Structure 1
Amino acid sequence: MSSPRATSSDTPARRRRPDWAGRNYTLLTSAAVVTNLGSHGALIAAAFAVQDAGGSAGDLGLVAAARTLPLVLFLLIGGVIADRLPRHRVMVAANTLNCLSQAAFAVLVLTGDPQLWQMMLLTALCGTGTAFFNPAAEGMLLATVSGEHSNRAFALFRMAMNGAGIGGAALGGAMIAVLGAGWVLAVDAAAFAIAGALRAFLDVAPTADRVSRGGLLTDLREGWVEVRTRPWLWGIVLQFSVVVAVVGAADAVYGPLVARDELGGPAPWGLALACFGVGTIAGAFLMMVWKPRRLLLVGTLCVFPLALPSAGLAVPVPVWGLCVLMFVSGAAIEVFGVNWMSALHQEIPEEKFSRVSAYDWFGSVSMLPVATALAGPAEAAFGRTDALWGCATLVVLATALVLLIPDVRRLTRRDRKIYGPRPAAGAPPQTPRLKRRRG
């Protein structure tokens, strides 16, 4: 029997969080909150640091491309490593690299006249850390909750993460206006240090017995088989290779330029990004209570609104109008994100999840360095307005095409545990008519 002291101390702890939100889940969520507080402001700070150094639209695109190119180069290797090693160690090492690179970027901006190649190198190091972090992080989140709670857990995790992004974007924009971009980069470095410390305490015992039976190429091939035999998976990855590229170019290059020329500077752009974050919280809150049966169909339909911000910047609409469009697109993409994560966790074996996640990330960001690097030349060739309308059109076309894939329209939610047996690669999606449940 527990002593009265133990009972009185344990009960409030249980009341503060749901039964399914264990220690790992709480640490992961707390670390994500800290990281997003810093990183959302740092993205704005990097753009304005380039502008303050006299950079052009082409320079902004090169710095953005330098951040994303390492994702393309190292994501697949990062996925293999995350399926071989304890994932929390990969995450901590990546956070350490991010901390050091952002700290050096901050010192460079605060103490001197940063050169374009220096800013590109440091953002590339930060992107390298992200390439190893992302597959490990998604694989780690998989192990924290059971299938019947996964939808709610993913939604709550993303709500907390995106809520921090709201504060980070708004605070970052204000800090840039008052203190300059360097201090925002310094805050981001400190956030990575704190988040890495939290992730160092993750308990990885449930995945400690993962052993690779082959070399690097064998592991990559196994992950590729999981992807290529699922049309819904590679179809949506291809879709997002286009969507992420054009939306990323609009946000990283054209958005700050429109803000500078038409909206009044960094603070309104930070407010617009914060409204996107508010929208993601609204979408995550909706997904905590809504579990659509056709999860991929619903999610894909919610990608269409991502065209709205680019169209709004092309007009351009007033600040309040841009904020509304960013809110709507944020809510919509969050509905997609929770449904997409639920589909992956339902269909992909845990021991291969980081590799599949790496292919997902790789495909999604593969065109982003090209798009951001070409954003400046595209503006010079077609004009900023036509380039932004082109971004919006490509989002709509890519999303309409992926709806032609039958599995995207038909894949249905099941309720058995995520660690239960999954359908073999290439097997058709199961439906409720089969009467199979996740137990």
Structure 2
Amino acid sequence: MTAVLLPAPPATTSPWRSAPFRYLLAGRTLIGLGSAITPVAMALAVLHLGGSATELGLVVAAYALVDVVTTLFAGVLGDRFPRTLLMRGAAMLACVSQTVVALTLATDSATVPMLAAMSAVNGALAAISSPASRAVVPQTVPAPALPSAISLLRLSQNTAMVLGFSLAGVLVALFGPGWAIAVDAFTFLASALCFTAMRLPATSEPAPPATSMLHDLTAGAREVFRHTWLWLLIAQALIYHLIYGGIQGVLGPVHITSLFGGAAWGWSLAALMTGFMAGGLITLRYRPSRMLLSGTAWLSLTACFPLAMALPVPLWVILAGAFLHGLGLEIFSVNWDLAIQQNIAPDKLARVFAFDQVGSFVMRPLGLALTGPIAARVGDRTWLLVAATVMTAATVTALTPTSVRTLRRRTDT
């Protein structure tokens, strides 16, 4: 595995020179801030309403399930229509839905089923925006600036999420979960204004639809299966999210809160996001020529978080495991996004990103729904050890195929 430590990119390759990129960066950063506050606030809201770990899992699973179901169609829309239109429309509607959730929590009229229903609505809106917001990146910067743009976007979002996770527990403790989610509603409104201000060249927007949605979905699927490294790592991500999704969404908050108190889970997520930030900083300079080999090797660090939670250790060890998890996942994610951007045609990008998201997350609702009952039966620590083992095995297996080990970064970008 060879890698190159590059100097800071010259101004001619800096994405900061592009106004559309700056608006995209601001909008996605704002969404990252609010979206980090909501999971903590929602989890504590369900628990405060008397909900169990299983009910919390169902609320989170409602979001994930609708997100998965909607994403494939959103990918087709992202290749058919102006991507900025989809992004700002979804942000405005998400502002409305989160305002409704905030009001019901603030007035003590919320119920667990209602929170699950609104979670499903937010999952659909997130799905509409996600493929378009990933596929639009090459439209905002020249090709030489693309690697830096990907790293900066992820770094800014993760920085915002560190702040959001750190603030979430404080906001809930001081003002209640309703006001915490109201902050999320405001960030969606501000991001919609940023996406409205984006001005892309008319020729770079997707062409109007000329075929059926089924035809476009089939073409996107063919493109995914044309690249062995692509569908293989999507399958690896499916296993990761099946196992780890329930730990972060259900078991982690309950287990860590019972051991160290309510604020500890927020700090664990903050440590996770700090790892993301560190990984993002590394990718600004560290650019391995065999990007998927390097990224997947770093991905093995994700097992550190569930392993640390499974052991009888002090909180700082668990925070260290969360940091290493985020570090490895971020270095992989930047190289993964760049691999797709460099090897997939622009008119299929949104669909490929949609298949990536669906393939990765399709089993997450099942993991969220089953983690509570399984952990209750076998014990929290036992299930956390099983999760760490499975995650490690899946990552090692993903390193074996030649297509993963040999895909190289294009030097013309």
TM interval, short-chain normalised: over 0.9
Q: 1:66 aligns with which of 38, 62, 87?
A: 62
Q: CA deviation at 1:236?
A: 0.4
Partner SS for 1:200: helix
**What TM-score comes out, normalization by structure 2 length?**
0.94
CA contact (8 A) 1:58 1:376 kept: yes
Q: 2:357 aligns with which of 357, 361, 370?
A: 361
Q: 1:258 aligns with which of 252, 255, 260?
A: 255
Q: CA deviation at 1:316?
A: 4.3
Structure 2: distance between partners of 1:295 and 1:50: 41
CA contact (8 A) 1:278 1:330 kept: yes
Name the structure 1 match of 2:219: 222
Change (3 A) 1:312 1:20: same
Name the structure 2 match of 1:408: 404
Structure 1: distance between partners of 2:206 and 2:137: 17
CA contact (8 A) 2:16 2:22 kept: no
Name the structure 1 match of 2:30: 34
Q: Which region of structure 1 is more displaced relative to structure 2, 198-207 or 240-249? A: 198-207
Q: CA deviation at 1:143?
A: 1.4
CA contact (8 A) 1:311 1:389 kept: yes
Structure 2: distance between partners of 1:51 and 1:172: 15
Name the structure 2 match of 1:292: 288
Partner SS for 1:112: coil
**What TM-score comes out, normalization by structure 1 length?**
0.89
Structure 2: distance between partners of 1:246 and 1:114: 30
Name the structure 2 match of 1:384: 380
Name the structure 2 match of 1:247: 244
**Which one-letter code corresponds to 2:207 in the other structure?**
R
Give the number of aligned pairs: 402
Name the structure 2 match of 1:179: 175
Matched, 1:196 2:192: yes
Q: CA deviation at 1:156?
A: 1.3
**Which one-letter code corresponds to 2:244 in the other structure?**
V
Q: What runs of 5+ residues in structure 2 fail to find an aligned partner?
A: 1-9
Structure 2: distance between partners of 1:65 and 1:142: 32
Name the structure 2 match of 1:421: none
Change (3 A) 1:96 1:283: same
Deviation per CA, 1:304-362: give whole Å up to 9, x if none. 11111111111243221111111111111111011001100110000110000000000
Q: Percent identity, aligned pairs only?
A: 33
Q: 1:78 aligns with which of 74, 77, 99?
A: 74
**Which one-letter code corresponds to 1:259 in the other structure?**
I
Matched, 1:323 2:307: no
Name the structure 2 match of 1:105: 101
Change (3 A) 1:257 1:146: same
CA contact (8 A) 1:67 1:124 kept: yes
Name the structure 2 match of 1:55: 51
CA contact (8 A) 2:15 2:146 kept: no
**Which one-letter code corresponds to 1:333 in the other structure?**
L
Q: Which region of structure 1 is more displaced relative to structure 2, 306-315 or 230-239? A: 306-315
Deviation per CA, 1:16-74: give whole Å up to 9, x if none. x9465401110011111211111101111011111000010100110110010012211
Structure possessing the higher radius of gyration over alpha carbons: 1
Structure 2: distance between partners of 1:56 and 1:136: 36
Q: CA deviation at 1:190?
A: 0.8
Change (3 A) 1:114 1:90: same
Name the structure 1 match of 2:91: 95
Q: CA deviation at 1:174?
A: 1.3
Change (3 A) 1:324 1:95: same
Q: What runs of 5+ residues in structure 1 fail to find an aligned partner?
A: 1-13, 418-439
Partner SS for 1:291: strand
Q: CA deviation at 1:209?
A: 5.4
CA contact (8 A) 1:65 1:372 kept: yes
Structure 2: distance between partners of 1:104 and 1:62: 20
